[in-house]
Amino acid sequence: GTLNANTSAILSAGTGGISQTAGLIQGTTIDLSATGGGVSQSGGSLIASTILQSTSGVTGTVSLTGSSNTIASIGSIAVTSGDFVAKSTGSTSVTGKLTAANVTLTVPTIGVTGSIGGSTLTSLIGTLGGVTIGTGGLVTSPTVSVNGGAGGVAISGTGTVGQAGGI
């Protein structure tokens, strides 16, 4: 089915998590929280949002790998006991604090003015327009992988890439 919110869609689950197996979740702000089970997508499911965030955090892996997702901005999301993996078809900016064991973003163009912290790995893959870590942007992890594709990688202003402990 389709969930089309004019402004905000807040999805909150207990230990079973959130599983999107088909359809569309669309809204200016989509807020996903789960006390267990994580958040997953499968099949032809799609998320279309200006801001993706999690007010209460997610326990378990967040896997938003739908091939047609359009996520313009990632706000604050704290993932415990799991990874954060997301794909989007357009430009995506990380403007909040994103933390997980492993963080992987695969989108045409990535901008970071917030912070990304993977306790094991952070991987940013800009498949077309590159990766820009701008003023205030912070990317930390014991292992950081940044691939800007044809658009390259740019660090500007006070943007920082480095070892864990910076967030």
Cα separation values, 49 from 7, 53, 57, 68, 163, Å: 10, 10, 18, 12, 31
Which residue in the block uniquely carries the two structure tokens 């006070």?
158
Q: What is the pLDDT along the chain (167 residues), one digit of tens a residue?
A: 789 998 999 999 999 999 999 999 999 999 999 999 999 999 789 999 999 999 999 999 999 999 999 999 999 999 999 999 999 999 999 999 999 999 999 999 999 999 999 999 999 999 999 999 999 999 999 999 999 999 999 999 999 998 765 55
What is the H or E stretch that residue 8 is in?
Answer: strand 8-13
The answer to whether residues 29 and 53 touch, using CB atoms and an 8 Å cutoff, is yes
- pTM, full prediction: 0.95
Question: Tell me, what's the pLDDT at 1?
Answer: 76
